Amino acid sequence: MLKQYLLSPGPTAVPERVLLRMAHPMIHHRTPQFSAIFAETKRMLEQVIQTKNDALILASSGSGAMEAAVTNLCSPGDTIIYVNGGKFGERWGKIAAKYGVNTVEIKVEWGQAVEISAVEAALDAHPEAKGVFLQASETSTATEHPIREVARLTAARKGCVTVVDAITALGVIDMPMDDWGLDVVISGSQKAFMLPPGLAMIALSDKAWALTESAACPRFYFDLATERKNQQAGKDTTAWTPAVALILGLNEVLKMIFEEGLDNLHARHALLAKATRAAVAALGMKPVSSSPATSATGAFVPDGVDGGAFVKYLRDIMGVTFAGGQDHLKGKIIRIAHLGYYDVFDICIAISAIEIALNRFGHPVEMGRGVAAAQTVLAERFPAQE
């Protein structure tokens, strides 16, 4: 017997309530029944994104919505600026290259936030740029970028938008799209939305929608104007066959989110992140990021411990799945997720497991030391009793 705990930054655990909703008998998508659920779901999603514009729901992973952002905003020969501080930042460049879109890369050391002055310099050097493409939270390094400050820079520039991959940020941190002037916000189902993979979400500002009118990159499945025509209120359907069960699940998830309340949702994530950072520090593990994400904590495994074997041992022998590192961080770090259906005791499990595993790997750490640091923070979640 080996109980399984999924503590990776996506897919994340799906609540029982959502699993049961998705297990309901299949319904047809071209029906008033589905449209009613779809419309309600979309309205709630727009409240999470905090936008008056449409939030479109796509049957794809988040990468599909990233491609949609490029192809719907740009023409071949256009220029975009993108922040590359990890695997996901890098992806903007790969997508653009496929469509003949020129790129200005702002290379950022993995684990660091982009310097706002670097973005400003790139914008000044490339007034023709259609936008700045970046991650709110770069999952590969568990690092947050200053999206609000970037949006302030593009707001003043005509025809230039801020495109935010918020796949591990939306539903984790407060990032009001309209208030902050974010032009494109992208997310996916398998992160804070506590669903299996298979849905992407994307919302565009009026400024971004204006760019779509002249954008000449070829697109069919990911043509957002076509989706908007179908998904708009009153139409309440999708251009192509929607992922019906996942949309039922998203409906349930959004109800859970509003039962908790957006403020509580964000506060819970902030507390779990704070506790995890405290635990990792107590264990003497060096953080990967100087701008640590609220969605996950990255930490270097101690010298002498093979990070690859360590993560594999935790998963296969102990039943606790974390993410390791990618590219040059492969074998060097562990990423402890805390987004979505996570609460206090998931952190206790994560840190207990890491402490036991470190000892089993011949790297003695004091048992309970990290757990205690986490508990001290986590106790804030519960009221003191008289």
> What is the contact surface with a second copy in residues (CB under 8 A)?
1-3, 5, 256, 259-260, 264-265, 268, 309, 313, 317-320, 341, 343-346, 348-349, 352-353, 355-357, 359-362, 366-373, 375-376, 378-379, 382-386
The residue among 239 and 371 lying less far from a second copy, judged by its C-beta, is 371
Give the C-alpha separation, 348 to 374, whole Å: 7
Q: Which residue has the tokens 């760019």?
A: 211
> CB count, 10 Å around CB of 240?
14
CB closer to a second copy, 44 vs 318: 318
User: Rounded to the nearest whole angstrom, what is the least distance from the CB of residue 193 to a second copy in the complex?
Assistant: 14
Q: Which tokens is 229 given? A: 């025509």
Q: Crossing angle of helices 344-360/369-378, nearest 10°?
A: 170
> Nearest approach, Cβ of 370 to a second copy (angstroms)?
8
**Closest approach of a second copy to the CB of residue 383, in Å:** 7
CB of 49 to a second copy, least distance (A): 20
> Which residues have CB under 8 Å from 168's CB, separation 6+?
9, 10, 136, 137, 139, 191, 192, 293, 295, 296, 339
CB nearer to a second copy: give 303 or 386.
386
Q: How far is the CB of 57 from a second copy (least distance, A)?
A: 23
Distance CA 44, CA 139 (A): 25
CA dihedral 233, 238, 244, 248 (to 10 degrees): -20
Cα-based angle 76, 79, 82 (whole degrees, multiple of 5): 120
| Cβ proximity to a second copy, 182 vs 336, nearer residue | 336
* C-beta closer to a second copy: residue 3 or 158: 3
